[in-house]
């Protein structure tokens, strides 16, 4: 059974600081997704990582995938308050469409 | 213009009642999903249909029954509702095993 673990689960950081959220998973996969969820809202797709070594950047967020280490990272650069949300990684099985989600990282960016 | 829509957005009901949630996507996707997000924000897949055929059927109580009348619609019927069914239910769709797009969610409260 595929297991996905995120850490930290809660992250409180100051504006302007950098930090990284980690997503580890237990079985072989080369498809990983990052989603953002604001309170009471749906999941918004941030990044789709489809191969080993994939790196994608959007604004202050950068995601990477290391399939050999079974690890993805979401790096936050110079955080701003608008980034406050819950971030989920989700790993897709090599065969099939099933997504297994991590527990989510609740990020709070303080002024 | 909404890509994946769900109705209703909120559903408050008494224990023992039967209720349905509807989902529609206009993305032309062939695969649709139901996810449950519990009070700790943990997301878990429940069902998936591909072209009206059930392809993922997780271990959920058989009080939950999905139905897909066509590939653009996926409904979820719940019999004999219990307190523990209170959660947010998300519908999603994708093209085959591609990126999944989520609906706005239905917050179910069982009293």
Q: Which residues of B touch A56 (CB under 8 A)?
A: none
Does B6 lie at the interface with A, CB-CB under 8 angstroms?
no
A42·B99 Cβ contact <8 A: no
Size of interface A-B (CB pairs under 8 A): 53
Does B97 lie at the interface with A, CB-CB under 8 angstroms?
yes
Indicate the pairing of strand A10-14 with strand B19-25: unpaired
User: Looking at residue B59, what DSSP letter applies?
Assistant: S
pLDDT, tens digit, 9 for 90 and up, residues A88-100: 999 998 877 889 9
A97·B48 Cβ contact <8 A: yes
Could you tell me what percent of chain B has a pLDDT over 70?
A: 98
pLDDT in the model for residue B59: 84
Structure tokens at A107: 């990020």
Closest C-alpha to B96, from A30, A98, A43: A98
A42·B103 Cβ contact <8 A: yes
A43·B104 Cβ contact <8 A: no
User: What is the average pLDDT across A25-52?
Assistant: 93
pLDDT in the model for residue B1: 67
- Of the pLDDT bands very low, low, confident and very high (cuts 50, 70, 90), residue A27 is confident
Closest C-alpha to A84, from A61, A58, A57, A56: A61
């Amino acid at each position: 059974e595929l297991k996905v673990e995120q850490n930290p689960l809660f992250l409180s950081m100051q504006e302007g600081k950098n930090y990284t959220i980690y997503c580890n998973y237990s079985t072989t996969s080369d498809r990983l997704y990052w989603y953002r969820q604001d309170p009471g809202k749906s999941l918004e797709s941030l990044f789709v990582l489809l191969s080993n070594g994939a790196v994608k950047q959007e604004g202050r967020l950068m995601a990477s995938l290391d399939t050999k280490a079974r690890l993805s990272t979401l790096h936050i650069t110079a955080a701003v308050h608008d980034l406050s949300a819950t971030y989920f990684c989700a790993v897709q099985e090599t065969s099939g469409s099933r997504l297994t989600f991590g527990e989510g990282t609740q990020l709070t960016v303080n002024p | 213009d909404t890509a994946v829509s769900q109705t209703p957005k909120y559903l408050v009901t008494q224990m023992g009642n039967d209720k349905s949630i509807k989902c529609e996507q206009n993305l032309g996707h062939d695969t649709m999903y139901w996810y449950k997000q519990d009070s700790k924000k943990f997301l878990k897949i429940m069902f998936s249909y591909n072209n009206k055929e059930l392809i993922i059927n997780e271990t959920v109580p058989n009080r939950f029954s999905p139905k897909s009348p066509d590939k653009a619609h996926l409904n979820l019927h719940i019999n004999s509702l219990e307190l523990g069914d209170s959660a947010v239910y998300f519908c999603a769709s994708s093209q085959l095993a591609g990126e999944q797009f989520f609906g706005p969610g239905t917050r179910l409260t069982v009293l």
